[in-house]
Structure 1
């Protein structure tokens, strides 16, 4: 048996999504010998299958919706959807799913790149298997960073695995909009893609097992989206458990526990994401490979440096702190400072922002009312409709929305907030600052809010909080 080639590096970064790539580049620029390892596209899910292509779809669908609102407001218009320019734009933005530019960007910062599947085989060793099955062993002198992200979670529904179902990856690569689509899952991915396809003429049905859409957000967001999606022609079924899937000449048939039966040309599975720690080989360093996430401390350390052995850090989805590009980038900064010995503040997760890019958008930060109460926080809430703050404009943009704030009555600060409506993700900025900086409610109430902006609703919600 031929000996396995052995390489050495100061730092090995396994997984080159946004956070892993950034960490590898910054450490290389600091003068360390860094090897980045990934078997998928450098840059990760976001630029190729997530944030970027899906927002192209969402924005294109929004243009159609805007055109359809012209009659009665600004003249006349006839809108004819055409998926082909959307597909072309997605293909261009992803460089036809080619990561050469990203690889060049990484190596241009001084890091080395190895294409293959990285697996821990020891405290300081990563074994990399390439597409031909050839293995290389890389030994770390200073640190290993684990940033392998997540993959679509496919539920064990009888019959599903034998069908050509879609995940988000297939949906964003679609050359044509399907005639009909069943979306399994009422979270952000399923709703964004489902609404986009519906606006291009696809008959879309959303099936969600939980009692409401966006189950982790405020219930008012579910109510708002239910109205909006229904007006866009989507069929929405919550509290509906999928029981089996069949596929044949006439497409997919989804059968549900309470007797519902849905058929469509395509089936999009959007039931969340999963971590694969067994594939990463964490058992080799004494960790539970069946755990849902990797345990990390406030410095993102899985294991600190010990007796001359390298430290192991983790960042991104596998830490369980939020499957967002902005989270992985935030954590990358903490990991880089830790490896370079620069100190700085530890990770803080009390003000994590998140946006669902449906129409209307749902932006949220921190805790929902329910989450705060579950943690024993004494809660007061304030709520206002956007229409009450921007009457002269809101009727021109479709469904309105709301702002809801959640305050800790002990400390007198906001612990969470939701801005749902037109530009909800942009309105969220002010609320994120308030939650992150723990701005006293007394100070927030002194704020002057420009009229007739949508963000003025924040002041109305704070006034309702005081009522």
Structure 2
């Protein structure tokens, strides 16, 4: 049964953080907005990614920090309370209920439409509700696709029958597997190896490449690998999985390795990349290919659709697959839609209010392993590949007074990548305990294009780990 058509200024597909922010900015511009969601309002980040994963990681990191501090070390003699950690995780995942997020949507004056939405031609969306009804929504100005991404699984014999973990199962699991194989070497793989090893799993990390965190500076993966190994994680690099077997649905999993035998575990997590959630969105009705990443310009408008009415923000456009970048894009796209709808000027200059310049110049990311790895901007290799004339400056974080106070035996490293022609920072990387909280200072410096000479006047407080900024600048001037 089809209900009557409802018209809005903007229709947003996907009520995760990106869609929520886009809808909020469009609503703030005076536009009417429908927000369509097929699962939980709040999306992947709230229930199966950022929030539950960091809730799993904080207790073991806090315990490790205590054991690295004299006096506290003597008090921290027990082990983690697994039940309490999982309850802590469940709380931060809102027990997989979205009542609070729905209340916010209502308070913002946004109409929430439950169900699976598909494009059905120009500015038209058809939603199949949980009850099987069809609702047609039309948009006067814009439709925005904010449906995010899902775990990408390789095409391996036996994988479907083995029911592997993906990031969703890894962040929502209710029992600690005795043996866990983690396939991958990126952020999800290293964070979940950290968490489940701390909770009691015997973790084996199977990495196809030669190191961890390949998109960061090489020393980041090296220091994180040292931390994982010291915690008890077995790391096997240069390892390819050929197939997976699980004949008994409740039994162990056999991971068959291409060159070095088999590994029997209780669960296997594949953290092998992401794919766009665009395979069943009706893209073919507007001339696009189902299942593709959606190419956009810097205002998040889809470039391959005439008349400029279709937008894509967040993971789905493949610019920067991070929650905070999706929210950033959502804010920008919502403001752009509002400006264009009102006939107002659109500021498309670099770093203008209507362009997502940071997606290419100043993307920050923290990997919540132990030690943490945090970076913004580009690596030295990326900068050189882009044709910049650069200088890299490294500093041993253990030599900073604040680091020694933070933890006995502190290990870490900092690097800044300087554009010699402009005297600006192109990238900054920190690896060490607690360095995630250092990153925003670097993000401001990179995004704000603060000259290195001006950074001399940003005096770090003593004795904090932030004093590494002074040491980096001193080394640069030598």
Question: Do the structures match in fold with TM over 0.5?
Answer: yes
* Counterpart secondary structure, 1:416: strand
Matched with 1:204 is 203
2:331 is matched with which residue? 333
Aligned to 1:376: 387
Are 2:7 and 2:140, in contact at CA under 8 Å, matched by a contact in 1? Answer: yes
Partner of 2:122 in structure 1? 123
1:429 & 1:49 partners in 2: Cα distance? 25
Cα contact 2:29–2:335 (8 A) shared by 1: no
Q: Tell me the distance in 2 between the aligned counterparts of 1:199 and 1:269.
A: 19
Counterpart Cα distance in 1 of 2:2 and 2:169 = 40
Which residue matches 1:347?
Answer: 356
Deviation at 1:73, TM superposition (A): 6.9
**Distance (whole Å) between structure 1 residues aligned to residue 73 and residue 189 of structure 2:** 32
Whether the 8 Å contact between 1:140 and 1:310 is mirrored in structure 2 is: no
- Once the two structures are overlaid, the 10-residue window that deviates more, 313-322 or 22-31, is 22-31
Q: After superposition, where does 1:122-161 map in structure 2 within 5 Å?
A: 122-161=121-160
Instruction: Count residues with an aligned counterpart.
Output: 463
Q: Deviations over 1:270-308 (max 9, x none)?
A: 1121113332222222223353x21111211115997xx
Distance across 2 between alignment mates of 1:236 and 1:374:
30
Shift of the 420–394 alpha-carbon distance from structure 1 to 2, 3 Å rule, reads farther
- Deviation per CA, 1:404-450, whole angstroms, max 9, x where unpaired? 01111121111011011122111112211111111112222444333
Instruction: Report the CA distance between 1:3 and its aligned residue.
Output: 5.4
CA displacement 1:27-70 (0-9 Å, x = unmatched): 23443221111101111111111111111111111133245446
Q: Separation in 1 of the partners of 2:186 and 2:214?
A: 7
- Distance change in 2, residues 1:177/1:440 (3 Å): same
Unaligned runs of 5+ residues in structure 2 are none
Q: Name the CA distance, whole Å, in 1 between partners of 2:60 and 2:73.
A: 19
The CA distance in 2 between the partners of 1:282 and 1:460, in whole Å, is 52
Alignment of 1:78-97 (within 5 A): 78-97=77-96
Report if the CA contact (8 A) 1:394-1:400 is conserved: no
Distance 1:399 1:206 in 2: 25
For residues 448 and 399 of structure 1, the distance between their equivalents in structure 2, rounded to whole angstroms, comes to 23
Unaligned segments of structure 1, at least 5 residues:
none
TM-superposed deviation, 1:71 = 7.1
CA RMSD of aligned residues (A): 2.2
Bigger drift between 429-438 and 66-75 goes to: 66-75
Q: Give the secondary structure class of the aligned counterpart of 1:339.
A: helix
Mapped to 2, the partners of 1:194 and 1:239 lie a distance apart of 18
CA-to-aligned-CA distance 1:334-391 (integer Å, 9 cap, x gap): 1122111153422212111111011111110000111111111112100011011137
With structure 2 as the length reference, what TM-score do the two structures score? 0.91
Structure 2 CA distance, aligned partners of 1:384 and 1:448? Answer: 17
User: Within 2, Cα distance between the matches of 1:371 and 1:263?
Assistant: 39
Counterpart-to-counterpart distance in 1, 2:269 and 2:436: 25
2:279 aligns to what?
Answer: 278
Q: For residue 258 of structure 1, what is the aligned residue in structure 2?
A: 259
TM-score (norm 1): 0.93
**Equivalent position SS for 2:421:** coil
Instruction: Report what 2:172 is aligned to.
Output: 173
| Structure 1 residue 398: Cα displacement | 5.6
1:356 & 1:282 partners in 2: Cα distance? 34
8 Å CA contact 1:141, 1:310 repeated in 2: no
